[in-house]
Structure 1
Amino acid sequence: MGKVKHLNPVLSSSNKKTIDPQKRKVRSDKLHDIKIPVDEPMDMILRRESRRYWNGSKTAFGTEILLFGLEQMLVYPDVTYTDQPYTVHCKVDHETYQKIGNYAADWKCSVRKAAHRIFIEAYKKRQLGGVTDGEI
């Protein structure tokens, strides 16, 4: 009898060497995405203000508020964290993500909860709703 021919050569075992897949390099400028839950009135204000100042990018506006909170504020009172149907995405670099992670470790919570706490306090301090052009 001789060699057995398989109908599907992929399924046949062969002595061919398999090539090990190479690990992909992670980009140095990769951004971390943090989803922060917000309530409906806050979402409406963020949408309105983002259209006015950021050409419709709620993510860029939310990131700006989070960075404002990290840079300009030192005290973040405890806020209740509840999951909401509306979220704001904040895209931060690795260094900022580490800084939020340090707060999360101090407060014994997740990075998302720490970012929520910082975001809510920064949102209150920015007093959105009646903002002039020079403030943003």
Structure 2
Amino acid sequence: MSFNPMFSNKKTTQKVTENASNVRILGGDKPKKERKVRSDKKFDIKVPLTEKQRILIRRLAKSNDMYPTHYCEYLVKKGLSRKVPVPKEKSEYPSSSPLSFHVRLEERFLEKLDEFCIQWDCSRKKAAYRILMGMINAEGESLYGRTF
């Protein structure tokens, strides 16, 4: 006589019943919870630049002990929060340039940027570029005494 039913000679005709609580139903009875959005979520804007503008930004960032990307973000935020002179004429927008810096803005700054987009009838990239160039011209004048 064996205690293991596998080695038993007798065949049992017992039906195996599944426990309903162990079976998962696809879709489930639970409603899916929506994921919460972070309150400090940032939106990325890729601002195209010319080679000269990129070099200038790197120099200005180095003189302020910052990385170029953080410096561009700082300038755009500063330009959006204050009424800084923005070039009235549309400067040469380097749309086909592979060179760029990213500007990461929180939602409150993005809303202000969208207001400028509506006012100037342009995209977010062009508005961010225009504000960035206005700030660089203001920074360049204060440091070097000339406009770029």
What is the TM-score with the length of structure 2 in the denominator?
Answer: 0.67
Query: What are the superposed Cα offsets for residues 23-51 of structure 1, whole Å, 9 maximum, x if unpaired?
Result: 22110111111111111112122223323
Aligned length: 117
Give 1:100 deviation, angstroms.
0.5
Secondary structure of residue in 2 paired with 1:48: helix
Partner of 2:25: 16
Pairing 1:107–2:120 present: yes
Which of 63, 81, 91 is matched with 2:73 structurally? Answer: 63
Q: 1:67 to 1:120 in 2, by over 3 A?
A: same
Partner of 1:96: 109
Residue pairs, 1:24-35, within 5 angstroms: 24-35=35-46
Taking the aligned partners of 2:32 and 2:141, their CA distance within structure 1 comes to 50
RMSD of Structure 2 on Structure 1 (CA)? 2.5
Partner of 2:92: 80
Partner of 2:131: 118
**Amino-acid identity (%):** 26
The answer to whether the Cα contact below 8 Å between 1:30 and 1:93 also exists between their aligned partners in 2 is yes
Unpaired runs of 5+ in structure 1?
A: 1-14, 132-136
Give 1:62 deviation, angstroms.
0.5
Give 1:16 deviation, angstroms.
2.7
Give 1:21 deviation, angstroms.
4.8
Residue pairs, 1:121-136, within 5 angstroms: 121-127=134-140, 130=143
Pairing 1:42–2:53 present: yes
Which is greater in Rg?
2
Q: 1:105 to 1:87 in 2, by over 3 A?
A: same
Unpaired runs of 5+ in structure 2?
A: 1-23
The answer to whether the Cα contact below 8 Å between 2:86 and 2:130 also exists between their aligned partners in 1 is no
Taking the aligned partners of 2:38 and 2:79, their CA distance within structure 1 comes to 26
Secondary structure of residue in 2 paired with 1:18: coil
Partner of 1:6: none
